[in-house]
Amino acid sequence: MQIGMIGLGRMGGNMAQRLMAAGHDVVVHDGDAEALGRLAALGAEPARTPDELVERLAVPRVVWLMVPAIAVANVIDTLSPLLGTDDILVDGGNSHHHDTRYRAKRLAEKGISFVDVGVSGGIWGLEQGYCLMIGGADAPVARLAPLFRTLAPGKGSAMAPVLLENNSGTALEGYLHCGPAGSGHYVKMAHNAIEYVLMAAYAEGFELLRNAGHDRQSPDELPASCDDPEAVDYDFDLAEIAQLWRQGSVIRSWLLDLTGEALAVDPALAAHDGRVADSGEGRWALQTAIATETAAPLLAQALFQRFTSRDQARYGNRLLSAMRDGFGGHGPSSRR
């Protein structure tokens, strides 16, 4: 099947390679000449402009976008005059589902089908496949099935889950038509909210292990209730514990696999500065939770923790220290 891929970053470039490896005809475009050249060297047909990409595609066309959410509107504005009836435009990025519903309606007026696909799998998707959460009308989604089957892990993959009683449908293969336009991005938003919370939980648990040795704290910082500081004095090998938990533990997961690999290479995590970015979907999920009156305190805490990792809380922490010193004499002067 022929497809045009716009956006050849860490996700889009690897997805194009996976499609080519399965025999699909892939025409690619990216503003980065180096990225474009890299895919061309691997067998993709390069297009220097979106216009050229559209011209190289047979009618009816399929164009898949893997660009940042902030860029989607501009790319659609560029492409929509070039596309025609029965062409399909796919947004595989992390767009807001409200924007997706609006775009689908607007493009439908021109006879262009719009399909949203939430993609999960990161840089490992090239080899292991991608989990695809799909929204859109039935006909264009069905037409894209060969692409979905190629990109998804497939049945019997290395990451295949334990089989449940209901094994019908495509979910077991790693892709699912979730509903109308916007539903794929909505499901991806919820997916990323869960991801935020799981990552925060692992981080807290391993920090608890790391801080088990009381020698990591000065005597002045030990809680007054700690009668026997020696009772918490362990020197754990975190990489080994991560490896242990990967073997049959109820908290084993791919995120734990990545944790174990990172600790094995760099136990002190010295190569990481502790600043954690967010793609925006955690914010959208929390806003949606408020709008739908869905209690999501864990998501809120995980998101706010990412904010504090960016040094934005330092002033607030200093103010807390000043207040505590003011009413209780707990500041530096109390140790003189």
Q: Which residues are catalytic?
A: 188, 195
CB 5, CB 64: distance < 8 Å: yes
* Distant-in-sequence contacts of 304-309, Cβ < 8 A, 24+ apart: 305/200, 305/276, 306/196, 306/276, 306/277, 306/278, 306/282, 309/274, 309/275, 309/276
> Reduced to 3 states, what is the DSSP secondary structure of residue 64?
strand
- Omega prior to 297 cis, within 30 of 0: no
Burial of residue 58 (number of CB atoms within 10 Å: 0-12, 13-18, 19+): exposed
3-state helix, strand, coil in the chain (%, to 5): 50, 10, 40
First to last CA, the chain: 76
CB 71 within 8 A of CB 50: no
What is the SS3 assignment for 92?
Answer: coil
